[in-house]
Structure 1
Amino acid sequence: MHAILLGSTAFAGLLMSMPPAFAQQAGPSASPPTASARRSERQIMFAVPPQALSTAIVSFSRAANIDLVFDGAIPAGIRTQGVSGAFALRDGLNRLLAGTGFSAQVAGGRTVRLINANAANVGGPGAVPAGAIPLDTIDVQGNSAQSPFGPGVGYVATRSVTATKTDTPIVETPQSISVTTRQQMDDQQPLNVGQAVSYYNAGVVGEDNSDSKQSDQIVTRGFTSTNYVDGLATPVGTFVQPAYDPYMLERAEVLKGATAAVYGQSYPGGILALTTKRPTDDPFHEVFVQGGSYGRIESGFDTGGPLDADKHWLYRVTGVGFDSGTQVDHTNLSRLSIAPVITYKPDDSTTLTVFANYRYDPNVGFWNKRPFAGSFVPNAAGYRIPDNFFTGDLGFNKLESKQASIGYSFEHKFDNGWTVRQNLRYMHTSWLFDSVQDDSITGTTIVRDKFQDINSYDSFQVDNQDEKSFDTGSLHHKVLFGLDYQHVDFADKETDADAPSLDLLNPNYYQPLPAYTSADTYIDTRQKLDDLGIYARDQIALGGWRASLGVREDWASSSTTNLLNNDALQTQSNAATTWNAGLLYLFDNGIAPYVSYSTSFLPTIGTDASDTAFKPTTGQQYEAGIKYQPTFMNALFTAAVFDLAQQNVLTQDPNNNNNQIQTGEIRSRGFELSARAGLTEHVDLIASYAYIDAKTTKSNNGDVGFRPAAIPENSANLWATYKFTDGMLAGLKLGGGARYLGNTENTANTYTMPAVTVFDAMASYDFGAKNPSLKGLSLALNVTNLFDRQYISFCTNGCYYGLRRNVLATLKYRW
């Protein structure tokens, strides 16, 4: 395939800057800009040395923010003298093609072709000139597949804003980024975000103990992630946590390593960044129904497009609802979620997108904790609690979650080159958890407790950004200045008491439960958090060199009211400076080695024995790696080594056992390999491997040298699909994969959970491939844990069973 894909701004610039003969073919009103107009166009810094035209086009397209898919069919003997310096897109393109015998042509509103300028135009209007190399028609949308907010192409995304808050090619970003594309989610049908990003992703561990409350929480390089949606934080309480159905997302990204210089207070392991679906320039409609294991029934829709002929107003509405049993008896999982979005684009310089989201989970699955003796090993009497056994009480069993948010994303590009943005969101989330849980098992008697958690939070975030690109001598700069603020109001009440025991062999699920007393409530707090941050970044290009520098200052404060202690109020304030730096060299063949350094901080609530407020934890990461984005295929290969540490970790005070001090340190070192590729038009592939050496390096708790619980030292994944495009099997796609999770330790490092390999499979059929009247209709079958492997996922304060085999059948219609 020969295809140049143009982002919306790049396409507009190219259309306005074509040589006269070609610009006129795009429409009678498209006249060439004057010399003064060209001087006022955005200047782009090019550093394309003399070389073969087939490879030079790739370097040029990256500098001009043009995505290129190219198979190398241009004769190898055709060379360019290159482009060096700052030029408008038109002038740079003319210099690139000068003397090659080729030129760019716009043939119709959205088709770009590379033409042999010396060939005769034979065959009448619209014919391809003899000797020309035509490009496949590409529908260039304002929200193109390879925009940093788009779904990606196949399993590969090439651009992101997550690491820098600016539109930057991933291959030019000196830090590890992995993107779960929309196609991957469609193929694999993950039940939750944790599965979407942890299955087939190097160094990422999801909460695989259940399909319930922790579904959006992941661990990256040995540390808990900080979560963001559409560029803004989603704070996490003790139990309450925002959750997004994978169907509502366009893509899910994991940025690995310390990120505070970009986002402020965060864990050192990285962030999970979700992008929700946005309006499209062209109409799009989809409905589906799904059925599967445990009586699951689900339906959803996704529709969008322009509201007016000029496409100034665009909309999109996505909704999903389901009800299902789970692998644990007497428990259910159900959800209703809807997300209307509207975009207003009065001109090419201004965009306002308003997002709303509502999610109600009346049943949030199950809480899968089991005692060690009775799950990982049999108890003294030789009994284990089966993974499907319900240990609770049906008279006190409620897991309910609600979430609602509204916000907007605004961008305006000024004529002087500055671009301003503002992202804003208000979110409310609540959680109710009533559960009778097992604590231990003696013989066949399960000892239980009655637990309740009621919590909620309200959050407000706003992020203001100013961006501009300019040149200083031979250096091209992309600078970003920002100011952001977040406020969180969080309430949490937790109560625990004894509950009647349960006979494993003759369970009674409706026993009389004692009422709570005031003494049973051990947490009843309200906490308010505020964080104000200012930041600056500069991304510098010189030839193939890319340097990234960022610095940030944060002022964080908190006030905690303890309602159990006469409304005692505790306040705390912290300030922190964080920074990062990276250096990368991009070769013309798509290979990009890099090094980077980044820091993090995270406030720690509480005081030591002398009532001195705890300092924030601090983190640092050293990373080196190499990325490879081939010029001849849709693929991205990455390798990285890292050294990550967190200081000021709480540990026991040796002089006062009832208090803690901040002398602890946790370190994580390792390396990761990852491949995402469309190997051919038939085959897509994901492969990854991670080695993580994580341990406690300083502590007064007697755990120096311990591995963090549930973090495998080795993990590996492989997934591939094959799509039949002709013959009797045209329209059929088959896929499968294997997930290997290495040995993990419990919290005390007294026992080791063995490694496990789990297999998954899928098959889908596009009815329109053989019957055009059925275009858009498809049927898919997905199976996770294909061979129904029973295993312990991990053990921390208890042990948790992994998810058993799950089968889903999906009938979908698109038009």
Structure 2
Amino acid sequence: MNFPRTALSAALMLATPTVFAQEPATTAASGTSVASTPAASTPAASTPAASTISPGTSHTLDRVEVSGIRDRLQLDAPAPTASRLGLSARETPATVQTLTQEDLQFKGLRTARETFADIPGAIAGNVPGNPAVVMMRGFSGNAVSILQDGVRVSTSTVVQRDTNTWHFDRIEVIKGPASVLHGEGALAGAINKVTRKPALDGTYVDALLSGGSFNTSTIAFGANVQMNEQLAVRMDVSQLQSDSLYDVDNNHTRARGLTGSVLFKPTERLSILVAVDHYADRYDSTYQGVPLVQASVAKDPSGILQSANGLVIDKALRHRNYNPDGAYSNAEETTLRSRLDGALGGGWTWNADLTAYTANRAFVLSDTQTFVAPTASFPGGSFNRTLQRFYHDHQFWNARTAIANDTTLAGLRNRFTVGVEYNHTDFSSLRQSAPSSAVAAVDPWHPVVGSFPTGSSVYTAGNLNYDSVLQTRSVFAEDGLKLAPEWLLVAGLRYDDIDLSRTVTNYNASTDPAQVGAVQSARPQYHPLSWRLGSTYDLSRTLTLYAQATSAAVPVSSMLLQSIANTSFKLTQGRSAEAGFKATALDHRLSLTGAVFYIRQTNILTRDPADASLTVQGGRQSSRGLELNAVAVLTPALSLGAGLGYVDAKYDKLIEAGGAVRTGHRPINTPTSTANAFASYAVPGTPLTLSGFVHYAAGFYTDTANSIHVDGHTTLDASMAWKTSRDTTLTLRGRNLTNAFYGEYSGYPTTNVYLGAPRSVEVSWLARF
């Protein structure tokens, strides 16, 4: 019996049991089987018993509704980001979390940053040079890998953008080291953005229209067209635009996407997917956060920040933007990919992925805005500004193939996969910077921002071109052995052969004209070996315990942008141990997961204790903590959910310039605890669903000296969703309803803090035709 797809309405999915509706249909009685459901969740039978239908005749069935509770933590769903063995989230000895497209719509998560910040134990910020940067389990930047449909293009600090989420079927998250699956990096985890793809389940159109505060609007459409039983096509287009998602002056924002794919399944044993994705974004006068000022001159000083040098956040500067006119950040990226999946018989399967990617990015902005004490020209103080123009020309391609088998060894079920991967990157980046003397200082409260210089003569602080060719050859293997019906042992191994050719050309004539065009080059090679060993044990059908030990390898800085000096350093090493549980209860109406973890990174850069002018390896950073997640469908109308993360992160050994000892200090942008919760109630007898969302993050430091502290914050969102028809939902949403004034993330320099968006409202219309 084929059930048509239900509406893309997360309010209904979360607040009520999942309902599959069968419209009146004609079926032959002879040889037809009807799916059975538990009697407790099936309405009174309204169809004749099969025995009353004469063979060879047809009968029109009445409408049948089949209800069932969906496991919101998806413990029994496949977790491909966390394993290539086809393991479910419950079988995987790691913390695995998934945000589906329904979840994104239900929670109102419009962008990558909003989505990443909703991951328990994580926070995210929109640093202009690294939009949607993530801190997870005490580590951030290039220690968190961002994947596109399972492929890591490069370090997240290079490729990640604050993408519109309409194009993603789901966001998959694996916590803890994942180098054994996805190569260097991934010390704190990996986030996989999985694009919507065609389905052989009919023809339909999805649509989303929304509008709200700060002139923010979204228009998005998608169509799935089933051509026949073997062929389907999907295409999605979207545009999000806003005067500013942060309600900041001169910060017009737009993000566009166009994705399309074709699925061909000529037989049950072969599947072919071909897809193309194109994304473009632009942020005018990128928001650098609010610069701190001396308390003595602040007009409306806030108490949310404490500093050792008397600097404060002035609430009077809440909406100010100090970028010169003409500053911007943008990116255009296109990905072409194909995937083949084949069943070879005898439990053997084979797959192959081919990905080609190209991107152009620009970062033209005032990257540093520093407070200067009052002078005769500026009696209230001023901001000195520096300028930068960074450009990326990025090409990448990746080929990966693997063979897998699900078989029996000595009476025990064994699943294994082995594969190879090769990728090639050509990357060029012109990086120009100008001193504060190149642009006029501005009055903090009455800024005349001026225009961004278009000539090249002002870029005397730095004018370098980085050319990189990176080749990586990898071999990987995983195995999952069922030692007993309830006991699974999982192991993985990956070897990477990394060959980097780096050339840096100096175009800066101000230092030494004879050195203009001088070239430095290096060709480092790295050979990391990453591993994982873990186990899951089912104490019962609903409770699983797990533990694992893993490793990771991470460069000392972004591999494509590290200085020639840094190419001489080895990869840092990461080790982690984790243990936890995954459980369901109350007939799968309650899902629970919990984990404790420890991560240590060694060989980070520090200063030589005997000579602080020398940079050496030998520093250490670690984190330990716990995470809990729970979702409960208490009644057909009421759903609750909550997530909690706690992390104790510190530098175990770190000396900085001048011999400053940071040992024992907490890393920047690392709150000790984060939490989120939701409650959703479908008002009986009406098409109305009421939902509330709470987010909390403890305070964080903006500097390794731990001298500037930003207080924690709590925000409250709420929505009212009115189901105008079975496949259409109208939602009124409010964000930050208490209008909390809070710091979201710190930027560059450490005296800039990104402020969270003030209270806003939005109306959206979501439909499927």
**TM-score, normalized by the shorter chain, greater than 0.5:** yes
Distance 2:331 2:320 in 1: 24
Q: Deviations over 1:338-370 (max 9, x none)?
A: 101110100101101111111121336732333
Range with greater deviation from structure 2 (512-521 or 474-483): 512-521
Change in Cα spacing, 1:120 to 1:720, as seen in structure 2 (3 Å) is: closer
8 Å contact kept, 2:242–2:253: yes
**TM-score, with structure 1 as normaliser:** 0.78
3-state SS in 1 of match to 2:166: helix
Quote the offset at 1:634 in angstroms.
Answer: 4.7
User: Do structure 1's residue 185 and structure 2's residue 104 form an aligned pair?
Assistant: yes
Change in Cα spacing, 1:234 to 1:266, as seen in structure 2 (3 Å) is: same
Range with greater deviation from structure 2 (178-187 or 672-681): 672-681
**Pairing partner for 2:336 from 403, 406, 421:** 406
Quote the offset at 1:377 in angstroms.
Answer: 6.4
* Percentage of pairs with the same residue: 20
Range with greater deviation from structure 2 (412-421 or 625-634): 625-634
Distance 2:452 2:572 in 1: 46
1:697 corresponds to which letter in structure 2?
D
3-state SS in 2 of match to 1:636: strand
Distance 2:579 2:555 in 1: 28
**Pairing partner for 2:447 from 478, 496, 507:** 507
User: Do structure 1's residue 733 and structure 2's residue 733 form an aligned pair?
Assistant: no
User: Do structure 1's residue 349 and structure 2's residue 269 form an aligned pair?
Assistant: yes
Aligned residue in 2 for 1:439: 370
8 Å contact kept, 2:555–2:572: yes
Quote the offset at 1:474 in angstroms.
Answer: 2.7
User: Do structure 1's residue 171 and structure 2's residue 130 form an aligned pair?
Assistant: no
**TM-score, with structure 2 as normaliser:** 0.82
User: Do structure 1's residue 530 and structure 2's residue 471 form an aligned pair?
Assistant: yes
1:319 corresponds to which letter in structure 2?
V
8 Å contact kept, 1:155–1:678: no
3-state SS in 2 of match to 1:195: helix
Distance 1:260 1:699 in 2: 24
User: Do structure 1's residue 696 and structure 2's residue 651 form an aligned pair?
Assistant: yes
Aligned residue in 2 for 1:40: none
Quote the offset at 1:742 in angstroms.
Answer: 0.8
Distance 1:69 1:245 in 2: 38
8 Å contact kept, 1:362–1:400: yes
2:249 corresponds to which letter in structure 1?
D
Quote the offset at 1:390 in angstroms.
Answer: 1.7
**Pairing partner for 2:206 from 283, 286, 300:** 286
8 Å contact kept, 1:383–1:444: no
Change in Cα spacing, 1:252 to 1:672, as seen in structure 2 (3 Å) is: same
8 Å contact kept, 2:146–2:160: no
Change in Cα spacing, 1:452 to 1:389, as seen in structure 2 (3 Å) is: same
3-state SS in 2 of match to 1:196: helix
User: Do structure 1's residue 218 and structure 2's residue 130 form an aligned pair?
Assistant: no
1:578 corresponds to which letter in structure 2?
S
Change in Cα spacing, 1:591 to 1:568, as seen in structure 2 (3 Å) is: same
Aligned residue in 1 for 2:490: 548
1:387 corresponds to which letter in structure 2?
R
Aligned residue in 2 for 1:459: 396
User: Do structure 1's residue 811 and structure 2's residue 765 form an aligned pair?
Assistant: yes
Task: Give 1:354-753 correspondences, 5 Å limit.
Answer: 354-363=274-283, 366-373=286-293, 376=305, 386-394=317-325, 396-436=326-366, 438-442=369-373, 443-497=380-434, 498=436, 499-510=439-450, 513=453, 515-517=455-457, 519-541=460-482, 542-564=484-506, 566-604=518-556, 613-630=568-585, 632-701=587-656, 702-724=661-683, 726-727=684-685, 730-747=686-703, 748-753=705-710
Change in Cα spacing, 1:389 to 1:171, as seen in structure 2 (3 Å) is: same
8 Å contact kept, 1:608–1:660: no
Change in Cα spacing, 1:810 to 1:453, as seen in structure 2 (3 Å) is: same
3-state SS in 2 of match to 1:414: strand
User: Do structure 1's residue 315 and structure 2's residue 315 form an aligned pair?
Assistant: no
Change in Cα spacing, 1:354 to 1:698, as seen in structure 2 (3 Å) is: same
Aligned residue in 2 for 1:256: 175
8 Å contact kept, 1:154–1:183: no
Quote the offset at 1:72 in angstroms.
Answer: 7.0
Range with greater deviation from structure 2 (374-383 or 317-326): 374-383
Q: Which runs of 5+ in 2 are unaligned?
A: 6-26, 56-62, 295-301, 374-379, 507-516
Aligned residue in 2 for 1:85: none
8 Å contact kept, 2:734–2:759: yes
3-state SS in 2 of match to 1:171: coil
Aligned residue in 2 for 1:19: none
Distance 2:274 2:592 in 1: 35
Change in Cα spacing, 1:792 to 1:560, as seen in structure 2 (3 Å) is: same
Aligned residue in 2 for 1:42: none
8 Å contact kept, 1:157–1:181: no
Distance 1:303 1:485 in 2: 34
Change in Cα spacing, 1:599 to 1:135, as seen in structure 2 (3 Å) is: farther
Quote the offset at 1:632 in angstroms.
Answer: 1.1
8 Å contact kept, 1:239–1:431: no
8 Å contact kept, 2:129–2:157: no
Distance 2:71 2:102 in 1: 8
Quote the offset at 1:515 in angstroms.
Answer: 4.3
Change in Cα spacing, 1:446 to 1:554, as seen in structure 2 (3 Å) is: same
Aligned residue in 1 for 2:727: 776
Distance 2:753 2:521 in 1: 36
Quote the offset at 1:238 in angstroms.
Answer: 5.6
Distance 2:443 2:36 in 1: 65
1:329 corresponds to which letter in structure 2?
D
Range with greater deviation from structure 2 (642-651 or 775-784): 775-784
Quote the offset at 1:656 in angstroms.
Answer: 4.5
Quote the offset at 1:26 in angstroms.
Answer: 8.0
Q: CA RMSD in A?
A: 3.2
Quote the offset at 1:739 in angstroms.
Answer: 0.8
Aligned residue in 2 for 1:754: 711
Aligned residue in 2 for 1:799: 753
8 Å contact kept, 2:215–2:243: yes
Structure of higher RCO (CA pairs closer than 8 Å, 6+ residues apart): 2
8 Å contact kept, 1:341–1:354: yes
8 Å contact kept, 1:556–1:573: yes
1:416 corresponds to which letter in structure 2?
G
Quote the offset at 1:793 in angstroms.
Answer: 2.0
Change in Cα spacing, 1:426 to 1:494, as seen in structure 2 (3 Å) is: same
Distance 2:617 2:677 in 1: 41
3-state SS in 2 of match to 1:301: strand
Range with greater deviation from structure 2 (613-622 or 449-458): 449-458
Q: Deviations over 1:378-407 (max 9, x none)?
A: 97899666121121222x322221111110
**Pairing partner for 1:206 from 124, 132, 152:** 124
8 Å contact kept, 2:324–2:365: yes
Distance 2:522 2:345 in 1: 49
Quote the offset at 1:554 in angstroms.
Answer: 1.1
Aligned residue in 1 for 2:187: 268
Distance 1:174 1:26 in 2: 46
Change in Cα spacing, 1:473 to 1:380, as seen in structure 2 (3 Å) is: closer
Change in Cα spacing, 1:500 to 1:238, as seen in structure 2 (3 Å) is: farther
Distance 2:454 2:256 in 1: 33
3-state SS in 2 of match to 1:173: coil
Q: Which runs of 5+ in 1 are unaligned?
A: 6-24, 32-66, 75-112, 127-133, 140-145, 147-151, 769-774
Distance 2:198 2:52 in 1: 40
Quote the offset at 1:507 in angstroms.
Answer: 2.6
Distance 1:380 1:262 in 2: 44
1:322 corresponds to which letter in structure 2?
L
